[in-house]
Structure 1
Amino acid sequence: MTHDNDQSPQSKGGDARAKALSKDERSAIAKKSAEARWAQAKELPMATHGSTDRPLKIGEVEIPCFVLEDGRRVLAQTGLINALGMSHGGSYSKGGDRLAKFAQQGRLSGFISNDLIDRTANPIRFRTAKGGMAYGYEATILHDLCEVVLDARDAGVLQKQQAHIAKQCEALVRGFARVGIIALVDEATGYQVDRDRDELHRILEAYLSEERLAWAKRFPDEFYKQIYRLKNWKWPPQGRAKPPFLGHITNDVVYDRLPPGVLTELRKRNPTQDGTKRRKWKHHQFLSEDFGQPDLRDHLLQVIAVMRVSRTWDAFKRNFDEAFPKPGTQIELHLADAD
């Protein structure tokens, strides 16, 4: 119990001012403080996946977990401390929490890195989907701390009352590996459903242009000349018309070898017309100037190089498929060109 005589002059002055305020004034101050906290919270990263209702389960342990909008996988601070069998203490918001004090103790000094000490002393502040403010740590910190505790136990430097923490760490380590913790968090939060979709979105965003670019010649004549040579077609072709099969070849050796999903999106943006069954634009006009176009150019140069060293179309296809296999295909390796 705190007595008035134990209070500092500043504390006594604060109490006196609070008593002098009217009910409306106190309400206004409380409202202003709440608005300030909300404004501060809005600057924090948002948790896009996860909730306390869907915790990460490792054996008997349950830890609330989240995925932030920047992709960081986070374990809730209170859940992580509970998982290690630690008692709570100190102020979380000021970094003086139980976890930081435990990591900074001298008994662990020979086993813990400065980086890990810093990470435990600086929990991540974030917003939950419900708008509340929470504290947590990147998921891999749990594995790192367990390793430190077990090393200290094996060296015989832990206190007797810390033996239960070491035992808990041993149980946790059995339940996950360092890489596996990421997959466990993704599964618990449901993030794995969106993970591949988000990755595809980032690829398409880099590869494709928001607007159709002005036409410019992207496929050098050498590309077509080599195809005609390998196919034993007459070069140069008569007139402007090209064999219909040439489009299939281009898709096969060029667009299908770009990251998965790019050709599908190009077909959506540049569909065939009902009357002619031809596309109004060239696929490459929808590739971004800073990434998609340069990658197309580099790929074409490699295609042409493989064509030049091949004597027949079949030989080229074998060489090319070995060098640039399509995703999900198995390629038979040839020790020598039999042609």
Structure 2
Amino acid sequence: MSEQTPQSRGGEARAEKLTAEQKSEIARQGAKTRWEVDRTLPKATHAGKLVIGNSEIPCAVLPDGTRLLTQEGFLGALGRSTKPKGRSQQPSEDLPPFLATVSLSSLITDDIRAATVPIVFRTPTGGKALGYRAELLPKVCDLFLEARRLNLLTAQQQQIADKCEILVRALAQVGIVALVDEATGFQDERERDALHQLLSLYLSEEKLAWARRFPNEYYRQLYRLRGWSWPVGKAKTPLVGTLTNKIVYDRLPDGVLEELRKRNPTEPGTGRRKWKHHQFLSEDLGQPDLRDHLLQLVAIMRISKDWATFMVHFEDAFPKPGAQLSLLLEDAD
């Protein structure tokens, strides 16, 4: 039995003097404190399993966008025990055991030291977990490979270096952040955020006053290519709007036409839109982009003898991923 210190003997003496009610209250307060701390832990919005080489690493994304690899999965990928013991199960500013060795000390940077502090978080299902920032994995791999090159490793560390080499090769094509996003499904959220940022710049917060954006030459060429007679007066065939959506608005950045349809819906009963789509494009980005597109479009129209020829030139100039030329040519029939 280990020798007791004066502090430990004093603590035991104080505990013996406590009543059952006092002990119960202390335990209750301790549980309350732990619950309040746990309640403030960030809860992952996305989670999944990242497969790198022969390793399968649970990963997660926090609300602030931090990508994490669970401590257990991280250690397993390095060939270490996935059940850390002692203090490594708790958040600590000390280096983890696999880095806290004399042989590696000269290679430990402040950046790595800061990244090795595990983050306590809650999984989407409510469980409590420890994780390392995903960016730490390639850094640790680079460190071990550099240590191997310098002949600094012990026999046990050589095994970790071998694992790191496999991981580095697997990560060579795709970054760790992109892999985590794919594994957790967070790339969908990232794409939505990117689209939102684009639309906020491309579209106007308020509808702009009407101004002529489509030159008459555009409509004249459209009628010529379709073999239609030029209309008397202002009325144009309703098909003009459908074709304009296809060859103009649908070739603006992805998501723009869909958002325009939301902001400028068709009127019940008439099926017509109250405003022109271009009135919702921003003056800084949307309107100039529309103008440039129309200038190129009219030039292609002029060199085309008919609609079918135009669509071939159009697809060459403005290719859209996944579009099939045969579908676009249907309007020429």
Q: Is this a same-fold pair by TM over 0.5?
A: yes
Describe the SS at the equivalent of 1:90. Answer: helix
Aligned residue number for residue 298 of structure 1: 288
> Is residue 87 of structure 2 the alignment partner of residue 90 of structure 1?
yes
Q: Name the counterpart of 1:279.
A: 273
TM-score, normalised to structure 1's length?
Answer: 0.70
1:84-106 per-residue CA deviation (whole Å, 9 max, x = no partner) reads 2346453531222525xx44655
Q: Is the 8 Å Cα contact of residues 134 and 176 (structure 2) preserved in structure 1?
A: yes
Specify every segment of 5 or more residues in structure 1 that has no aligned partner in the other structure, as ranges.
332-339
Quote how far apart the aligned CAs of 1:299 are: 0.9
Structure 1 pair 111–179 and aligned structure 2 pair: CA distance change class (3 A):
farther
Aligned equivalents of 2:16 and 2:49: distance in 1? 44
Tell me the CA shift for residue 169 of structure 1: 2.4
In structure 2, the partner of 1:312 is 302
- Tell me the number of residue pairs that the alignment of Structure 1 and Structure 2 aligns: 312
| Residues 92-241 of structure 1: pairs in structure 2 closer than 5 A | 92-99=90-97, 102-103=98-99, 105-108=101-104, 111=107, 113-120=109-116, 122-177=117-172, 179=174, 181-182=176-177, 184-186=179-181, 188-189=183-184, 191=185, 195-196=187-188, 199-200=191-192, 203-204=195-196, 207=199, 213-214=206-207, 216-217=209-210, 219-220=212-213, 223-228=214-219, 230-231=221-222, 239-241=233-235
* C-alpha distance in structure 2 between counterparts of 1:244 and 1:173, whole Å: 58
What amino acid does structure 1 have at the position aligned with 2:124?
A
> What is the Cα deviation at residue 47 of structure 1?
1.1
2:244, 2:39 → 1: CA distance? 49
Distance in 1 of aligned mates of 2:141 and 2:55: 14
Contact 2:221 2:298 in 1 (8 A): no
Contact 1:56 1:63 in 2 (8 A): yes
Q: Deviations over 1:30-74 (max 9, x none)?
A: 444444444444444321232xxx644556544332232344331
Instruction: Specify whether residues 167 and 204 from structure 1 end up closer, same or farther in structure 2 by C-alpha distance, changes over 3 A only.
Output: closer
1:327 alignment counterpart: 321
Residue deviations 1:205-243 (CA, integer Å, cap 9, x gap): 7527999944522653xx32341454477xx98644344
Distance in 2 of aligned mates of 1:66 and 1:313: 54
Return the alpha-carbon distance in structure 1 between the equivalents of residues 232 and 29 of structure 2. Answer: 80
Cα displacement string for residues 165-207 of structure 1 (whole angstroms, at most 9, x for unaligned residues) = 2233234445544626456545654x2xx63366246525752
* In 2: Cα distance, 1:16 partner to 1:294 partner: 76
Match for 2:59: what amino acid?
C
CA separation in 2, counterparts of 1:48 and 1:183?
Answer: 16
1:127 partner amino acid: R
What is the alpha-carbon distance in structure 2 between the residues aligned to residue 187 and residue 260 of structure 1?
Answer: 21
Q: Is the 8 A contact 2:210 2:279 kept in 1?
A: no
Report if the CA contact (8 A) 1:150-1:169 is conserved.
yes
- Give, as a single letter, the amino acid of the residue that structure 2 aligns with 1:90: R
Q: Any conservation in 2 of the 1:306–1:320 contact (CA below 8 Å)?
A: no
Amino acid at match of 2:3: H
CA distance, structure 1, for counterparts of residue 298 and residue 252 of structure 2: 21
Q: 1:23 to 1:215 in 2, by over 3 A?
A: farther
Q: Determine whether 1:47 maps to 2:47.
A: no
Residues 303 and 206 of structure 1, relative CA distance in 2, 3 Å threshold = closer
Residue 285 of structure 2 aligns to a residue in which SS? helix
255-264 or 176-185: bigger deviation = 176-185
Compute the RMSD of aligned alpha carbons: 4.2
Q: Which residue of 1 aligns with 2:331?
A: none
- 1:256 alignment partner, one of 229, 241, 250: 250
Equivalent position SS for 1:137: strand
